[in-house]
Structure 1
Amino acid sequence: MSLEETPLKPCKHCGFIVSLDEPDFLYPTNFSRTEWDANCYETAGGCGHFESASSPEGALERWNAELAPGEKPHYPV
């Protein structure tokens, strides 16, 4: 399944609806493109929660995963 075909769940913390068409949602966090963030982008009203992984596919997989019982959302420091 390609990135564009991946169904996206709303933010697991605030319910904000994200889109792959929004450049603030999924992006590399370093020049070597070995770390990626999927982000509930505050620029459009999201809460800033994010999920990180070593690939865009991994970041989307973590984004779509449910929070474990007692797990807190991740926010920028």
Structure 2
Amino acid sequence: MDAGEIPVAYVVKKQGSTHLQEDQIMSFVQSKVAPYKKIRKVVFVEAIPRSPSGKILKRQLKCLLQESILHRSRM
């Protein structure tokens, strides 16, 4: 049974980079981190939401994750 939050990667693709896939990111990160830190989900976003002072807005990232899950379940 899992408890708490799962590790998620939010990825902003460089312009013209169309061949990058979730499994490539997951395998790269898996080779660099401990097993409990490995990425379980990858979400591609246009930009990382930031506050005017430059801090990452984690609540908005969680909303993006929920939207991504809903979008995939509708397909």
The TM-score, its normalising length taken from structure 2, stands at 0.29
More helix by share: 2
The TM-score, its normalising length taken from structure 1, stands at 0.29
Highest RCO, 1 vs 2 (Cα 8 Å, sep ≥ 6): 2
